[in-house]
Structure 1
Amino acid sequence: MMRFVLSTLLAFCLAVPALAAVDIKEVKTPSGLTAWLVEDHSIPFMALEIRFRGGASLDAPGKRGAINLMTGLLEEGAGDLDARAFAREAESLATSFGFDLSDDSLSISAQFLTENREASLALLKLALQQPRFDPEAIERVRGQVLVGIASDAKDPNSIAGRTFDQIAFGDHPYATSMDGTAESVAALTRDDLIAAHKGVLVRDRVYIGAVGDITPEELSALLDDLLGDLPQSGAPMPPPAKLSIPGGLTVVPFETPQSVALFGQPGITLEDPDYFVAAVLNQVLGGGSFESRLMQEVREKRGLTYGVYSYLAPKDLAAVYLGSVSSANDRIAEAIEVIRAECARAATEGVTQAELDDAKTYMTGEYPLRFDGNAPIAKIMVGMQMMGLPIDYIESRNERVEAVTLEDVKRVAGDLLDPDGLHFVVVGQPVGLETTPGN
């Protein structure tokens, strides 16, 4: 019955119209934690997003994959509850927990009913502060990770991503998969997982967003109880990555009728004052629209692919500009030639007024649609905090997009786009393509 009630409330939250305004309050707790809150008492439900900066990049030397394995074990038993008992308790409370890891952060998402808030947060506290890391659970989750690693080793897209990262990031943690290798994961011990837990879940790198049926005073007390006993600091952050992306081509032989290509170059940071200009430029060039130049030239006019995309990828410790395309082995060379040509055309000519207007219309129109429920809003607020954006950013974001001019785009396109500096990693059996010497 409780699961039905939560499902109904979730459906309601996802169905509400995009918010015209999001009233964010900053909440500071007695112990020094800071959270952003959108207070909404219209339904007895709450979403909480907690994110710890650092993520998989904090893996200790020689322990690659430890934080990923540890994250997978956070809801596999805690305190006096083994994995099954923990799952049964969460189900009985109609509580949803999610644990997610990236190169730059470890995220915890929680959704629960107001009437079960105290019990739900007590259960989450156990997961965050007293994970069991039982031997049976470790081996079960380790096995799942190893299956994923084996699967990725046979996936052209994963191979392309790993190869590009190795080229771009050198000896930085970004250069290797956060899952680790079969060898590194097999060698991880329970002590390694305990060390990973202490190194990542720390107070001085935590960001918090909450949306729903709770007051600032209630949230303050809740957070100090939930997170107050975590260590103040943890593993040291790695230094910024030293990007090394030479222009050229790397071919990875792989038996498949269709080649996959990942291409990229150095990008632009979120802190750069021209970031919004670059975002508008990318929307025109290769953003996720059928009207983008790359889609028009590579797919619509020449039929070389089902899809081609480009995107800004600013990580915490490096910024890259990436794209992807797949095509038949005997046509991938032409697709790459067209992509380079379109990047060169944008770098020298910029975009047209019509393209700029269309990009702005799309970007400003889709933005409010992101605020389609408590959980998405909580995630957005945490992302804003981690990026150092002001608390009123939501209100001013579309104004920043609208302020981009044709001259801005032409200037940034000339500075950012480097057609000769693009590096393509092609996985497959491409006809007429060979690895560039030195790559």
Structure 2
Amino acid sequence: MIRILTVLFLFLVALPARAGVAIEEFTSPGGIHVWLVEEPSIPFIALELRFQGGASLDAPGKRGAVNLMVGLLEEGSGDLDAREFAKATENLAAQFGYDVSDDVVSVSARFLSENRDQAVDLLRKSLVEPAFTDKAIERVRGQVMSVIRSNETDPDKIAGRTFKKMAFGDHPYGSPLIGTPDSVAALTREDIVAAHKATMAKDRMFVSVVGDITAEDLGPMLDGLLGDLPDTGAPIPPKVTPVLGGGTEVVDFDTPQSVAVFGQPGMDRDDDDFFAAYLLNTILGGGGFESRLMEEVREKRGLTYGVYSYLVPKDLAALYMGSVASANDRIGEAVRVIKEEWARMAESGVTPEELEKAKALLTGAYPLRFDGNGAIAQIMVGMQVQGLPIDYIDTRNDKVNAVTLEEINRVARELLRPDALTFVIVGKPRGV
């Protein structure tokens, strides 16, 4: 127990908050590309893997297969069943995490330097030799079904699901990655094996490592860990243009408070104007209590506890979205105010004071994200997935500060489309 508490402490406090990170980029002898930050002062290692494609690679008619497969990675591998795998992980004081989104399968690992070889061997078993036993499949399938049933009575989930279907139709983005009761019930072990081969391949893999290891040791370690994965996976689906023509969709649901999701087409992450859009959103609805939407909807009128907007630059489509909840008899007014603020910013832009305040918020908060080996490894692998340059950490705040008032107001006119702003409201709204 003392050993486990010690390693958890190391995971949390590994490095002081900082934004100056010396990243080494190299390729292993086996051809695996990796970003590394050596940090020998504390004896543990953080490893992050990303496999591009994620749940969008579900085969036709097999929705939920990738999600179910990812849920099974720690449910037994090699000659270990689920209980034995969990016990082996605990004995090594290691932490493994597996997740999936529309665009990526994510794997995280944290382990002590002294246990590196054993931890990497155990992780390899889960990635390369997952057992996918019938018993484990039925157990995890039951867990997924429980979540699906819960989501069917959750107004937030209903709103998000309805909005995605409106925006993306039959594209994989248009349905929940968790699947439906029918699709998940029909999945076979062969479907899960196929999902594993489709998603977890070396041609869509990104790797970052932070901690007590050198490049000379890391290269062979990664070759042993990942070298036996398939060379290529399934083709990435085509890009899709969200279909959002404005208006309001109401989903009747018996609740005293209505939930609304709203959005319009957004901006790709690699667009030259993305930093201007990021600042614009901070001012409009992404800056917490400092944002215009919060000021107008909550502070001045008391219509909600919170209202937010956020850019959603997915790999295959971009949205600009937001959310709000309010009493059934007040949600109509909240929607009206949001539409007015959307249109006002599109027409008049932001003030010099708002721009400087947003810049101070974004640049001041950025170094606080670098608060440990794990956090830095996650940021680094995210940079790779997004195609950002290796010096992005050092130049990011300069790019934020370089945005001019003229640029951000031009982006406001071009990006914000009040006519396309579409609402999905779940509840029993009045006055909509």
Residue 287 of structure 2 contacts residue 358 of structure 2 at CA under 8 Å; is this kept in 1? no
- 2: CA distance, partners of 1:12 / 1:298: 39
Question: 4+ runs of 1 displaced by more than 4 Å?
Answer: none
Residue 2 of structure 1 contacts residue 93 of structure 1 at CA under 8 Å; is this kept in 2? no
| Superposed CA offset, 1:41-64 (max 9, x none) | 001100000000000000000100
Where does residue 9 of structure 2 map in the other structure? 8
Where does residue 437 of structure 1 map in the other structure? none
Where does residue 284 of structure 1 map in the other structure? 283
Residue 2 of structure 1 contacts residue 92 of structure 1 at CA under 8 Å; is this kept in 2? no
| Superposed CA offset, 1:72-118 (max 9, x none) | 00000000000000000000000100001000000000000000000
Where does residue 79 of structure 1 map in the other structure? 78
Residue 333 of structure 2 contacts residue 431 of structure 2 at CA under 8 Å; is this kept in 1? no
Letter in 1 for 2:134: P
Alignment: residue pair count: 431
Where does residue 238 of structure 1 map in the other structure? 237
Residue 251 of structure 1 contacts residue 426 of structure 1 at CA under 8 Å; is this kept in 2? yes
SS at match of 1:290: helix
Letter in 1 for 2:98: F
- The aligned runs of 1:370-389 (5 Å cut-off) are 370-389=369-388
| Superposed CA offset, 1:284-319 (max 9, x none) | 000141010000000000000000000000000000
Does residue 409 of structure 1 match 2:417?
no
Where does residue 210 of structure 1 map in the other structure? 209
Letter in 1 for 2:9: T
- 2: CA distance, partners of 1:344 / 1:406: 18
- 1: CA distance, partners of 2:157 / 2:145: 15
Residue 298 of structure 1 contacts residue 339 of structure 1 at CA under 8 Å; is this kept in 2? yes
Q: CA deviation at 1:140?
A: 0.8
SS at match of 1:32: coil
Q: CA deviation at 1:20?
A: 4.2
State percent identity of aligned pairs. 61
- 2: CA distance, partners of 1:323 / 1:128: 36
Where does residue 321 of structure 2 map in the other structure? 322
| Superposed CA offset, 1:398-438 (max 9, x none) | 000000111111100000001121000000000022xxxxx
Q: CA deviation at 1:11?
A: 3.2
- 2: CA distance, partners of 1:65 / 1:186: 10
Where does residue 60 of structure 1 map in the other structure? 59
State the TM-score, normalized to the length of structure 1. 0.97
Q: CA deviation at 1:213?
A: 0.2
Residue 249 of structure 2 contacts residue 424 of structure 2 at CA under 8 Å; is this kept in 1? yes
Where does residue 121 of structure 2 map in the other structure? 122
Residue 170 of structure 1 contacts residue 242 of structure 1 at CA under 8 Å; is this kept in 2? no
| Superposed CA offset, 1:243-288 (max 9, x none) | 2111101000000011000000000001100000000000000014
- 1: CA distance, partners of 2:175 / 2:69: 18
| Superposed CA offset, 1:95-150 (max 9, x none) | 10000100000000000000000000000000001000111111111000000000
Letter in 2 for 1:219: L
| Superposed CA offset, 1:358-385 (max 9, x none) | 1000000111111111111111111101
Where does residue 197 of structure 1 map in the other structure? 196
- 1: CA distance, partners of 2:384 / 2:58: 24
Where does residue 393 of structure 2 map in the other structure? 394
SS at match of 2:244: coil
Q: CA deviation at 1:17?
A: 2.7
Q: CA deviation at 1:30?
A: 1.7
- The aligned runs of 1:172-191 (5 Å cut-off) are 172-191=171-190
SS at match of 2:278: helix
Residue 12 of structure 2 contacts residue 372 of structure 2 at CA under 8 Å; is this kept in 1? no
SS at match of 1:48: strand
Residue 19 of structure 2 contacts residue 366 of structure 2 at CA under 8 Å; is this kept in 1? no
SS at match of 1:320: strand
- Structure 2 residue ranges without an equivalent (≥5): none
Residue 11 of structure 2 contacts residue 374 of structure 2 at CA under 8 Å; is this kept in 1? no
Letter in 2 for 1:6: V
SS at match of 2:208: strand
Q: CA deviation at 1:5?
A: 2.1
Q: CA deviation at 1:18?
A: 1.2
Letter in 2 for 1:192: D
State the TM-score, normalized to the length of structure 2. 0.99
Does residue 145 of structure 1 match 2:144?
yes
Residue 202 of structure 2 contacts residue 230 of structure 2 at CA under 8 Å; is this kept in 1? yes
Query: Pairwise CA RMSD of aligned residues?
Result: 0.8
Letter in 2 for 1:389: L
Where does residue 308 of structure 1 map in the other structure? 307
Where does residue 431 of structure 1 map in the other structure? 430
